Amino acid sequence: MKPAPFDYFAPTTLEEVFELLNRYGGDARVIAGGQSLVPMLALRLARPEVVVDLNRVPSLSGITEEDGVLRIGAMTRQARALASDIIGTKLPLLHQGLLNVGHPPTRARGTLGGSISHADPAAETPMVMLAYGAKMVIAGSAGERTVEAAEFTLDTFETCLEDGEILKEIIVEASADEGTGFSELARRRGDFAMVSAAARIRLDADGRCAEAHLMIGAVAPVPLRCDAVADALVGTQLTERRIRDAVRLIDLNSFSFDNAEVSLAYRRHIAPTLASRALAQAVGRTGGLRT
């Protein structure tokens, strides 16, 4: 349970970070909050020659808002994001998701960008970012590029980050007048999700569904967008019955995770229920309707 030896650098500027990553290439790993990487080091699932610590780069942290667009630094701590009034009011789905990420002591160190870049299929933050259609600002010595959340996570523990690149910032457009819902099943609070569901709902002036988004997590390598469910809801008056009918359109054949702890059959069994709960919660929070 002790990591293999590695060299350690704690740069204070992004230029130094990229210089180190270029110098050491695939032998280097960046450490953000360390709440996933340090266990992997301890279990020797990861054996980097060099660890580059991002914790002393001040420009990577912080939450700013301008004209309804939030920019969240990748090294923003999960605890700080959870306590942020801006996130609580403008991005409530992120707040709801973060409540399910680990525990207070892991959230005190764990970062938003670290969780997203780690790309655990059971993680809440990549699913939330997918639900918001967030943009990921990736930085490297060659400059910056921006990709959609849907293009960022490629597979289990795999993102589109190339050697020498880091996730620098997440850009999310806040949508006013919408309700959000998050529902997750785990054996204990803060454990990895067996299945999770995230929903966003916006109603029009007549109380009909104008926009809907539903994501299901922890059932496949990347979170699943359930557009068929969303399409069935748009234009309708949202009732519990309507939601219950719509979640039957979740593509259960796209679920693939099956293991001793949680079988594929069980994931398929509970996903529609969790989706219904997330959608009903979102509708309840639009303020327009009560379910």
Partner 1 sequence: MNKRRVDLTVNNRAVSMMVEPRLSLADALRGELGLTGTHLGCEHGVCGACTIIVDSDPVRGCLMLAVQAEGAEIVTIEGATPVVGLSEIQAALREFHGLQCGFCTPGMVMVLHHLFSNNPVPSDSEIREALSGQLCRCTGYQGIVNAAKAVAARHMHQNVQPRETSQDHRE
List interacting residues with partner 1 (CB under 8 A): 1-8, 10, 31, 34-35, 38-39, 41-43, 51, 53, 55, 63, 77, 79-80, 82-86, 102-106, 108-109, 188-190
Q: Minimum distance from CB of 51 to partner 1 (Å)?
A: 7
Q: Minimum distance from CB of 65 to partner 1 (Å)?
A: 9
Helix (H, G, I), strand (E, B) or coil at 59: helix
Q: What is the helix, strand, coil percentage profile of the chain, to 5? A: 40, 25, 35
Nearer to partner 1 among residue 24 and residue 255 (C-beta): 24
Nearer to partner 1 among residue 34 and residue 217 (C-beta): 34
Nearer to partner 1 among residue 86 and residue 171 (C-beta): 86
Beta partners for residue 93, in sequence order: none
Burial 145-154 (b: 16+ CB within 10 A, else e): eeeebeebbe
Nearer to partner 1 among residue 114 and residue 272 (C-beta): 114
Strands 7-9 and 50-53 turn out to be parallel
Nearer to partner 1 among residue 65 and residue 245 (C-beta): 65
Q: Minimum distance from CB of 249 to partner 1 (Å)?
A: 35
Q: Minimum distance from CB of 18 to partner 1 (Å)?
A: 20
Nearer to partner 1 among residue 77 and residue 213 (C-beta): 77
196 HSE (CA, 13 A, CB side): 32
Q: Minimum distance from CB of 177 to partner 1 (Å)?
A: 22
* 44: exposed, middle or buried (Cβ count in 10 Å: 0-12, 13-18, 19+): exposed
Q: Which of 174, 165, 136 is nearest to 28 (CA)?
A: 165
Helix (H, G, I), strand (E, B) or coil at 14: helix
Q: Minimum distance from CB of 181 to partner 1 (Å)?
A: 20
Cβ 155 vs Cβ 71: under 8 Å: no
Can you tell me the distance from the alpha carbon of 57 to that of 41, in angstroms, rounded to the nearest whole number?
Answer: 22
